[in-house]
Amino acid sequence: MPILVTGGAGYIGSHTCVELLNAGYEIIVLDNLLNSKRESLNRISEITGKSFPFYKINLLNEGEIEQVFIENDIEAVIHFAGLKAVGESVRLPLRYYHNNITGTINLLNIMKKYDVNRLVFSSSATVYGMPEKVPISEEFPLKALNPYGRTKLMIEEILKDLFESDPNWSIALLRYFNPIGAHESGTIGEDPNGIPNNLMPFITQVAIGKMPELSVFGNDYQTADGTGVRDYIHVTDLAKGHLKALEKVASSQEIEAYNLGTGKGYSVLEMVEAFEVATGVPVPYKVVSPRPGDAAICFADASKAKRELQWTAEKSLRDMCEDSWRWQYNNPNGFDKNLIATGTGNPHLSKSGDFFNTKIE
Ligand code: NAD
Ligand code: UD1
């Protein structure tokens, strides 16, 4: 029986589809392509040599979701679909509440109606707000700092209530730390719209010459070099965590939250240096004011996932940097093949282009 992947055309969803197909799962992808491209689905098929059904459907349309459940006997759902930009959520809170929460409730209504009660949900480390200490474990107090974070927190609460009302459900709440990197083939990866909000896509766009320099948001935090520290996790490791969570929800009846991170933190300047060392491409930067709402240090205690899911992140920071760059370099305009590259011609590009055909020590 197939696994339904909502948001499967997106960044984390597409990498998870690859791992699911490689592991022999049947999948069905549901996505309205609001923040993704159909081409990512072609690439999933290219990487895996497998095809799968795709439904271009908005979760806000309950009738359309129902059609998927009428046509397919679904085993479990991995629910990625949602809007995720923090700044936009502050400007457009109703859009975020409507899309993320109403969309999820519609999905849950149909799952309940068709007796599908195994769910893996994309939560976020953002539910810990400003953590008072690190590493962050699942028992830490939860607090949202913005509407996006509040949608994650509210959905977690909704899912807990649902489980209380009917213990036949089995639900994994996966709290991701900072996913970066791309599939090692360099054919799928993160494809942000416009100016990237997150650090790694910004670094790769500076490296390819689309942005002149990185703005480092503050160097006066209580950290070793004063810049913010985060727990960066390779998206393929994260994707594999979903397969472990799927096995867990298939074999138990509970609702559990799991941190998916590496347990190690790196500062912004360490990330810049690691990227430069891994790729040989310089990343000019300047220090600017801190970004409002940013914590100084955030990294996971990932021992619960290790203990209960038998999952740990395996890829190194170098892998994350190399794979991010391979994706960006091979796809300067993301999945949009029709655009002419807008890079300013970084002098290091040809050197680093050869780099991927060469074994670097
Ligand atoms: P993404 O934007 O690349 O993927 C989300 C997908 O959901 C997109 O393809 C989008 O088109 C689709 N979608 C959105 N609203 C929809 C709707 N109403 N109906 C159907 N499809 C819809 O994001 P991502 O980085 O892959 O994140 C996946 C999930 O993980 C999101 O829920 C996000 O909040 C969460 N998350 C992401 C990060 C991160 O850093 N990327 C961190 C923590 C949590
Ligand atoms: C951000 C979101 C968080 C979301 C996460 C993953 C905010 C306030 N938080 O977290 O809710 O779950 O992304 O999508 O937006 N940095 C720079 N320059 C940049 C970009 C980032 O210095 O151009 C720094 C940040 O200050 C931070 C680190 O790099 O210290 C990582 O930033 P980012 O990738 O945006 O992730 P988070 O801040 O952890």
**pLDDT (tens digit, 9 = 90+) per residue, 234-281?**
999 999 999 999 999 999 999 999 999 999 999 999 999 999 999 999
What does the alpha-carbon distance between residue 66 and residue 19 come to, in Å, rounded to a whole number? 26
79 and 222 both lie in a single domain: no
What does the alpha-carbon distance between residue 307 and residue 262 come to, in Å, rounded to a whole number? 14
Query: CB neighbours (10 Å) of residue 289?
Result: 9
Q: Is the dihedral of CA 350, 353, 357, 361 positive or negative?
A: positive
What does the alpha-carbon distance between residue 315 and residue 216 come to, in Å, rounded to a whole number? 25
pLDDT at 360 over 80: no
Q: How far is the CA of 191 from the centre of ligand 1 (A)?
A: 12
Number of domains composing the chain: 2
Catalytic residue positions, numbered: 148
pLDDT of residue 299: 98
139 and 282 both lie in a single domain: no
pLDDT of residue 340: 45
pLDDT of residue 339: 57
105 lines ligand 1 (CB under 6 A): no
The percent of residues in the chain predicted with pLDDT above 70, rounded, is 93
What does the alpha-carbon distance between residue 293 and residue 304 come to, in Å, rounded to a whole number? 27
* Neighbouring-strand partners of residue 27: 3
223 lines ligand 2 (CB under 6 A): no
Examine residue 311 and state whether it is found in any structural domain, yes or no.
no
Q: What pTM was computed for the model?
A: 0.95
17 and 92 both lie in a single domain: yes
Query: CB neighbours (10 Å) of residue 293?
Result: 14
| pLDDT (tens digit per residue) in 272-285 | 999 999 999 999 99
pLDDT at 226 over 60: yes
Average pLDDT over the chain, rounded to whole?
93
What does the alpha-carbon distance between residue 348 and residue 357 come to, in Å, rounded to a whole number? 15
HSE, CB side, 13 Å, CA atoms: give it for residue 136: 29
215 and 119 both lie in a single domain: no
Tokens of 87: 């700044």
217 and 144 both lie in a single domain: no
Q: How far is the CA of 230 from the centre of ligand 2 (A)?
A: 8
164 and 275 both lie in a single domain: no
Q: How far is the CA of 259 from the centre of ligand 1 (A)?
A: 18
67 and 124 both lie in a single domain: yes
| pLDDT (tens digit per residue) in 30-75 | 999 999 999 999 999 999 999 999 999 999 999 999 999 999 999 9
pLDDT of residue 353: 34
What does the alpha-carbon distance between residue 126 and residue 22 come to, in Å, rounded to a whole number? 30
| pLDDT (tens digit per residue) in 81-110 | 999 999 999 999 999 999 999 999 999 999
222 and 338 both lie in a single domain: yes
pLDDT of residue 167: 94
Tell me the backbone φ, ψ of residue 8, rounded to 5 degrees.
-70, -10
pLDDT at 352 over 50: no
62 lines ligand 2 (CB under 6 A): no
Residue range(s) defining the domain that contains residue 123: 3-180+233-260
* Neighbouring-strand partners of residue 217: 288
pLDDT of residue 198: 97
CA-closest candidate to residue 151, choices 77, 85, 74, 236: 85
CA-closest candidate to residue 46, choices 193, 171, 183: 183
96 and 217 both lie in a single domain: no
pLDDT of residue 245: 98
95 and 213 both lie in a single domain: no
| pLDDT (tens digit per residue) in 128-153 | 999 999 999 999 999 999 999 999 99
User: Stretch 187-197: mean pLDDT, rounded?
Assistant: 94
Tell me the backbone φ, ψ of residue 225, rounded to 5 degrees.
-110, 5
| pLDDT (tens digit per residue) in 282-299 | 999 999 999 999 999 999
Examine residue 167 and state whether it is found in any structural domain, yes or no.
yes
Pocket test for ligand 2, best of 84, 217, 283, 286 (most atoms within 8 A of CB): 217
Q: How far is the CA of 233 from the centre of ligand 2 (A)?
A: 13
| pLDDT (tens digit per residue) in 308-317 | 999 999 999 9
Confidence class for position 338, pLDDT limits 50, 70, 90:
low
Measured from the Cα of 216, ligand 2's closest atom is 22
14 lines ligand 1 (CB under 6 A): no
